[in-house]
Structure 1
Amino acid sequence: MTFLRYAIYFLPPASEAWTGFGAAWLGWDVETGQELAHPEGTGLDVAVLTATPRKYGLHATMKPPFRLAKGQDLDALDKACAALANSRPAVALDGLEIARLGRFLALRPLGDLSALNALAAACVTELDRFRAPATPQELERRRAARLTPAQDAHLTRWGYPYVLDQFRFHITLTGRLDDDLLARAQALLQDRLGPLLPVPFTLGDLALVGEAGDGRFYLIHRYALSR
């Protein structure tokens, strides 16, 4: 399969019940590259609620999607990802919670986030040589979001505004919703997904994923963090 862009994700363990529910909720399994039926009996149009995040799958972004830089290739990127993961320990956190981030719902981590944030920063900085520079059109599109000076500086340097000190680990569950739908979706997810969430929560590996021509992301390889 040919990929247009690559990214470094955290993908929840495929064997976990909360991963299975979350993937079905979004309707796309990054691990298997398959569409999934949405949960039934929700009283909500889950397909509409999850249309925006569906193509990315159930994930947390550690290094945002990027095109390969000139002179780089997938084999070199794969080796660099393996080396980075081997140099970093697994991250232990207290758990996950279903939370509102602006107008959408996401899973957010609980506990001391310093090690998690340091891992994300390493993904951004240590793999930056593989990232092709953002185009003027990409920069203009990002700046339409009224970035802060710090976010604009990150956009210029790293190709994405929400990295390093602006990074917030999250696993997206919906697109942007109005207040009523936010409340209804949050209540349903709290009831069905909440009891499945891990306590504690361990981030034990990183995943290299690729965006295919259909716009969807597929798992290329997982890399275990050093124990």
Structure 2
Amino acid sequence: MRYALYFTPPEHDPLSRAAAHWLGRDPFDGSALPTPEVEGFDAAEMADVTAEPRRYGFHATLKPPFALAAGRSEGELVDALGRFCGQAPTFTIPSAVIGQLGHFFALVPEQPFTPLQAFAAEIVEVFEPYRAPLTDADMARRKPETLSETERANLVRWGYPYVMDEFRFHMTLTGPVKAERATAMRDLLNSRFADFVGRPLSISGLALYVEKERGMPFTIHSWLPLSGA
């Protein structure tokens, strides 16, 4: 069993619904949804390009997947999440856009946003006592030899390379997209998510996602509003 703390909008938020139908799966109840029919991409290509984010469900990573530390229970983690959300104020990213990170696409802030960086760092630190240390196999999966010095230090200290100063908020919408398909995919995403592109994105709650066995789809155990929500 692994847990993760992710941001996602509430279950019935229009963005949650749009993303669930895009990815073909609803992480709130685990239900599969039909692969979207879109111009220029056949069903097989769409299923393939959304396969990786489909398993995780629509989200932005804040505390990456972790096993519980020895002596900690799920109930304690849920209680800690409730306490944190009860004192953390809601805030809004001024504008979200479709961005390309390497070979994949995601909904990202249009500009760096300091309150978001601070919020993510606080979550990593506050919930660190609930994280079991990485195993040697976990460390190897991250290919530390390919990471920068700072990323390797984060991996050792926090169990994940892309936290603290290396954190980049992103709500993943595709897996790797071939270079020759990238422009078409960007245009498609800007069209599909036109209602959300260039608009504010409210950070109004936190979700506890659960992976019952490694490699299984993540589902939402709890979604809790922040105190200002």
TM superposition score category, shorter chain reference: over 0.9
* Structure 1: segments with no counterpart, 5+ residues: none
TM-score (norm 1): 0.93
1:28 maps to which of 25, 42, 45: 25
Q: What residue number does 1:19 align with?
A: 16
1:146 to 2:143 alignment:
no
Residue pairs, 1:107-118, within 5 angstroms = 107-111=107-111, 113-118=113-118
How much identity, in percent, do the aligned residues show? 38
Residue pairs, 1:9-158, within 5 angstroms = 9-44=6-41, 45-111=45-111, 113-144=113-144, 146-158=146-158
> Within 2, Cα distance between the matches of 1:75 and 1:197?
37
Structure 1 residue 197: Cα displacement: 4.2
1:98-148 per-position Cα deviation (integer Å, ceiling 9, x unaligned): 010011100001355111111111111111111000011111221356111
* Residues 192-201 or 124-133, more deviating: 192-201
Equivalent residues of 1:26, 1:54 under 8 A apart: yes
C-alpha spacing 1:115/1:196, structure 2 compared with 1 (3 Å): closer
TM-score (norm 2): 0.92
Q: What residue number does 1:217 align with?
A: 218
Task: Give the secondary-structure state (helix, strand or coil) at the position aligned to 1:156.
Answer: helix
Equivalent residues of 1:98, 1:194 under 8 A apart: no
Structure 1 residue 192: Cα displacement: 1.7
> Within 2, Cα distance between the matches of 1:98 and 1:121?
23
Structure 1 residue 199: Cα displacement: 2.2
Equivalent residues of 2:58, 2:171 under 8 A apart: yes
Task: Give the secondary-structure state (helix, strand or coil) at the position aligned to 2:4.
Answer: strand
1:186-225 per-position Cα deviation (integer Å, ceiling 9, x unaligned): 1111112123447222100001110123611111111211
Task: Give the secondary-structure state (helix, strand or coil) at the position aligned to 1:161.
Answer: coil
> Within 2, Cα distance between the matches of 1:111 and 1:226?
25
C-alpha spacing 1:149/1:26, structure 2 compared with 1 (3 Å): same
**Aligned positions, number:** 224
1:30-73 per-position Cα deviation (integer Å, ceiling 9, x unaligned): 11211111221333121011111110011101100000111000
* Structure 2: segments with no counterpart, 5+ residues: none
- Aligned-residue RMSD, C-alpha: 1.5
- In structure 2, what residue type is equivalent to 1:202? S
1:70-104 per-position Cα deviation (integer Å, ceiling 9, x unaligned): 10000000011111112211121112100100111
